[in-house]
């Protein structure tokens, strides 16, 4: 029987708050937790997914924050 559970590796969300503000949220599994959580054979792919996803999504998060701030002020 497989006892694996779902886990969030990377999250990115853009939403409209009740006050009308556009908000983006970005988070990822801390790199130091990967080796503690995953089996040895899965660690390289998990690290790659988190690293590459973080590079792309952090940049998008920063861009959206900058663009929203520039249109507000």
- Give the residues across from 13 on adjacent strands: 25
22 burial level (CB within 10 Å; 0-12, 13-18, 19+): middle
Per-residue pLDDT of 24-41, as tens digits, reads 889 999 999 999 999 999
29 burial level (CB within 10 Å; 0-12, 13-18, 19+): buried
pTM: 0.73
Residue length, the chain? 73
pLDDT of residue 43: 96
Helical H runs in 5-42?
31-37
């Amino acid at each position: 029987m497989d006892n694996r559970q779902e886990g969030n590796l990377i999250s990115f969300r853009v939403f409209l708050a009740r006050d009308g503000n556009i908000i983006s949220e970005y988070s990822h599994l801390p790199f130091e937790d990967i080796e503690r959580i995953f089996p040895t054979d899965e660690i390289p792919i998990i690290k790659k997914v988190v690293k590459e996803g973080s590079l792309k999504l952090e940049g998008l998060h920063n861009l959206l924050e900058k663009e929203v701030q520039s249109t507000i002020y």
